[in-house]
Amino acid sequence: MAETPRMWAQRDYSYEGEHFGLPPNHDILPEPLYGTHPPSWVACGSPATFTTAGSMGIGAIAFNFEPAPALEGRIDSCKEAIAECSEPHGSYMNDNVMMTNAVICLDGRDRAREIALTPVRGYLYSMVCLYHDAIAEPEGAPTGPEPPTGLPEEATLDFAIDAGYMLCGTPEEVCGSWRSRMWPWAPTGWCSACPTRASPTRRSSR
């Protein structure tokens, strides 16, 4: 990992280590246009990785399967660790946290809520429970290849929106939910996506 920034920054790269080696005078392509490396990120599957990211001076990126306020401690731990980082991975700090949260935003409120209640929306979470052993699996959670479960009723959907699990509705509703429920805990970047084929259009916001 420590060699990746050097590969991007040096035209004549060489290295000899325990796991790999490269003789002198290799130009690794493609490489950044401006002579430095792009920001480094790590995918955080457990709370401890947020602290690790900060201690290395790299960005933290993760999915959110919890209410937005539950992320506050993880974001704080990343920011506190990066403030104390004296030897960052690479030539500069990437002091950013990005979380990906579910959103269904359509002109028609009824259609947005209909999509939110389709069982297929649970497929992503069932795959996470199957493959991502760093994330604690709640009791009774579906694990692939079990059929995914969705939100059972309108009241559960309203709870999920109010608690900050997701955004759903018209653009006005989604913006209102974002400002009131997620913005106070929002990290540097917040990517919202609808990972389902139930909707003919997919929109993301930053």
More confident of the two residues 145 and 96: 96
Mean pLDDT for all residues in the chain: 81
Q: Are 61 and 54 in contact (CB under 8 A)?
A: no
pLDDT of the residue at 118? 86
Residue 143: partners with Cβ closer than 8 Å, 6 or more residues away: 126, 129, 130, 137
Which residue from 43, 52, 55, 49 is spatially nearest to 98, judged by alpha carbons?
A: 43
What number is the average pLDDT over the span 137-152? 74
pLDDT mean over 22-44 = 85
Is the separation of the CB atoms in 98 and 39 below 8 Å? Answer: no
| Residue with more model confidence, 128 or 170 | 170
Percent of the chain beyond pLDDT 90? 31
The CA R_g of the chain, rounded to the nearest whole Å, is: 20
pLDDT of residue 191: 59
Q: DSSP 3-state assignment of 118?
A: coil
Please tell me the distance from the alpha carbon of residue 133 to that of residue 114, in angstroms, as a whole number.
31
**Which alpha helices (DSSP H) does the chain contain, by range?**
3-9, 47-56, 72-83, 109-116, 123-131, 154-163, 171-177
